[in-house]
Structure 1
């Protein structure tokens, strides 16, 4: 900062004020200071600014997967929503592991974020206590937890699965299966399976054709293998719902390899509305959960809470509305 001050022929305090957009600094002086800083490659030490202001300048976010298009869209929505607010995102990756989430939350809270956004509503007891006692806005996403810690931006995964079952039934399918992953790790996938089972039972149909294939997030390869297992165990299956579009695409490719006509021999439904679902041939019927909207709404809620426009003690629940996108696989 002293180097910039010397080059711009001002005091270090004036440099500090210029970077804080202090209105007492005229624009000509500010421009000269910023030009000097750019020429010298100077970057303001934000840690000192945050220490003096008591604000960290970032929002902590945990997601279970870094190679999932849905979570990428959510982060894009958050980033766009926070743009211009002087808040940045500090991202943590849990790998669908609640113990890893607990560790990450402790690490993130130790860096004094101004708010924290977590994926899902299932946490270890210790993680939940840390979030409850954090003293900052806590937003749970992608779920509708029965006992929210703070605020919620999400949807019912079970109700979303019901949309697919109702669509299958409307097409006249009666013998349906479900392909998912390890339900002990993917609680939202478990909710989708529960919703699938409940919907079938409400229609008076068999709900036992359930395949668990691999550690979440299950891949195209695992979707293909699960399709083989499903057809070997229940060869008369008419339709299958997959926990994600990736697994649905894998199942579709396996059908092509085996000359199984889709949807004439078996219909396939996915989840997530990935670009992959739209671009595959045939396109995959899927559930659009509004990933970008979840991120944008979470960012909007953070800004509102930090600006004092919402009372933190009053829990806010923003429900997004999943929609079915009908493709060529059904």
Structure 2
């Protein structure tokens, strides 16, 4: 077996290019400070040797790692995909890399992850949701690392926030179904804290608007298509008079729609279904899903800009931003 050779160093690049190690550093980090010929020789040497700069060492020299950590509840499913893609693209355009972790809707796991990542001193931390653990919140405050909480809303964030109110969302969907004349409604939802707050708001507002019944089916987060089928099947057994169902994700809504078709229930003739997220498949479903549009792209872009501004010592115009949401009406209601 051929022995593994040592990785190329900046000194190796300098020797091959016929320049000093400092010149190599300048050519790679500030190419405008060297001549075009020197920059070209360094690039050629880098390619020939397969040299990869030591980002950690460079970060230590600059006192910045140019790395941002993001904590998600789950990596399964498409719910947060738009936000993550937007966040990553926005950071990459400015030379930052994104590292992703998963908390699994668990406050203790969230706290452990946050405390571990603080030790690595990232330039910023983006959290999907509001930090739920007092220990994690205190650790973040003590670290002085820029923090952006997203996908939720509170007037008292750890540092900065860009998101929307799940309570307002639940109330708005209740109003939408009420305006359509539905008096027997239900919700199929995940069981995490945000989902429960949204469900409570939906049920309370529905009853305040005169709903004769407002039932609920909880499923373990993250939600799935199968859980949507199971949820509607349960509701049709226990509350057969329902005419409008709010599902806390488009996956649940699609599952509910499939189950309705399986049972011979016409959508929307006998049952209106509304999802949440406006995933790419929602408009292509049959019938196309009415859903609550959440602007993950805007949230990701704003979170990146707020984090970079704080990391680079620039002022942040607004520390708390509510981006709202929009009900996209299609054929399922």
Does TM, scored on the shorter chain, surpass 0.5?
Answer: yes
SS of 1:252's partner is: helix
Residues 150 and 315 in structure 1, CA contact (< 8 A), matched pair in contact too: no
Shift of 1:146: 4.2
| Structure 1 segment 1-330 matched on structure 2, within 5 A | 1-21=10-30, 23-182=32-191, 186-206=192-212, 208-213=214-219, 215-310=220-315, 316-330=319-333
Q: CA deviation at 1:83?
A: 2.6
In 1, the alpha carbon distance for the partners of 2:277 and 2:58 equals 41
Question: How many angstroms does 1:206 deviate by?
Answer: 4.0
Conserved 8 A contact 1:122-1:187: no
Secondary structure at the aligned position of 2:143 is classed as coil
Q: Deviations over 1:143-202 (max 9, x none)?
A: 1124311111000011112222222122111110011122xxx11111210220232133
Segments of structure 2 that go 5 or more residues without pairing to the other structure are 1-9
Q: Which runs of 4+ in 1 moved over 4 A?
A: none
8 Å contact 1:62–1:117 — kept in the other structure? yes
Contact 1:143 1:155 in 2 (8 A): yes
SS of 2:153's partner is coil
- Give, in whole Å, the separation in 2 of the partners of 1:6 and 1:273: 56
Q: How far does residue 256 in structure 1 lie from its aligned partner after superposition?
A: 1.0
3-state SS of 1:133 partner? helix
Distance 1:238 1:320 in 2: 30
Q: Unaligned 5+ residue runs, structure 1? A: none
- Distance, in Å, in 1 between the alignment partners of 2:331 and 2:214 is 26
Contact in 1 for aligned 2:253/2:275 (Cα 8 Å) = yes
Rounded Cα–Cα distance in structure 2 between residues aligned with 1:12 and 1:177: 68
User: How does the TM-score come out when normalised to structure 2?
Assistant: 0.93
Q: After TM superposition, give the deviation of residue 67 of structure 1 in Å.
A: 2.4
The 2-side partners of 1:60 and 1:28 are apart by: 38
Aligned to 2:287, the other structure's residue is in SS state coil
Instruction: Tell me, in whole angstroms, the C-alpha distance in 1 between the residues paired with 2:327 and 2:168.
Output: 11
Q: Secondary structure at the match of 2:157?
A: coil
Aligned length: 324
CA contact (8 A) 2:183 2:210 kept: no
Q: Give the C-alpha shift of residue 40 in structure 1.
A: 1.3
- 1:122 Cα deviation from its structure 2 partner: 4.1
CA distance in 2, matches of 1:70, 1:15: 44
Whether contact under 8 Å (1:122, 1:145) holds in the other structure is no
Q: CA deviation at 1:78?
A: 0.8
Q: CA deviation at 1:306?
A: 2.4
CA distance in 2, matches of 1:78, 1:181: 25
